[in-house]
């Protein structure tokens, strides 16, 4: 069962942006900003944003690696582990 995100009207954000930022500081959940009753934007803490960007980068790298494997490119596991061991 999905949990509905917190939603606030843009007018409430305008009136008390500091309180909204304070809520974000203590939560990993984003806040949906509505305008005329419709979702218009998502507001999240910088920590949540950065964590999401790191996860997306990792997923892109994994997808690229998978594509390389499927096309016969890439490196043998032994070579990769050997290179990693040399770096350590």
Residue 27 is predicted with a pLDDT of 86
Q: How many CB atoms lie within 10 A of CB 75?
A: 13
Mind listing the domains of the chain with CATH numbers?
6-44 (3.40.1620), 47-87 (no CATH)
The model scores a pTM over 0.75: no
Does the structure show a pLDDT above 60 at 1? no
Give the pLDDT confidence of 18-66 residue by residue, as tens digits: 999 999 988 889 999 999 999 999 999 999 999 999 999 999 998 998 8
Give the pLDDT confidence of 72-85 residue by residue, as tens digits: 887 777 888 888 88
Residue 31 is predicted with a pLDDT of 95
3-state secondary structure 12-53: HHHHCHHHHHHHHHCCCCCEEEEECCEEEEEECCHHHHHHHH
């Amino acid at each position: 069962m999905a949990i509905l995100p917190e939603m606030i009207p843009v007018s409430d954000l305008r009136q008390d942006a500091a309180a909204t930022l304070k809520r974000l500081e203590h939560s990993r959940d984003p806040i949906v900003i509505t305008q005329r009753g419709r979702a218009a934007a998502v507001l999240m803490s910088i920590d949540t944003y950065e964590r999401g960007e790191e996860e997306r980068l990792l997923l892109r790298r994994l997808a690229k690696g998978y594509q390389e494997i499927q096309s016969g490119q890439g490196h043998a596991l032994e070579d990769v582990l050997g290179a990693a061991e040399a770096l350590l």
